[in-house]
Amino acid sequence: MLGYLATFIISMVPIIELRGAIPVAVFTFHLTYFEAFIISFIRKYNSSLFYSKIYKTNI
């Protein structure tokens, strides 16, 4: 559970995002590549939906 939460939080950092969250999840928390990608992607997708509502754009 800690690995999932840490991956989610690391993927929130604008500079690091997916490029940093996936290796940390795989090598530090021993998650699979698929789990790390899905957790990071869900966070990234949610933020894009949030920003599209604020700026009135269509995705």
Query: Degrees (nearest 5) of the Cα angle 22, 24, 26?
Result: 70
Residue found under tokens 């989610």: 8
45 within a domain of the structure (yes/no): yes
59 within a domain of the structure (yes/no): no
**16-36 pLDDT, tens per residue?**
887 888 999 999 999 999 999
Q: Which residue has the higher pLDDT, 23 or 12?
A: 23
- DSSP one-letter code for 41: H
Q: What is the per-residue pLDDT for 51?
A: 67
Q: How deeply is 6 buried, as exposed, middle or buried, from its count of CB atoms within 10 A (0-12, 13-18, 19+)? A: middle
Residue 4 reports pLDDT greater than 70: yes
Instruction: List the domain range (segments joined by +) for residue 43.
Output: 2-54
Number of domains in the chain: 1
Q: What is the per-residue pLDDT for 55?
A: 72
Residue 40 reports pLDDT greater than 90: no
The chain-wide mean pLDDT, for the chain, equals: 82
Distances (CA, A) of 21 to 26, 41, 45, 47: 9, 10, 15, 16
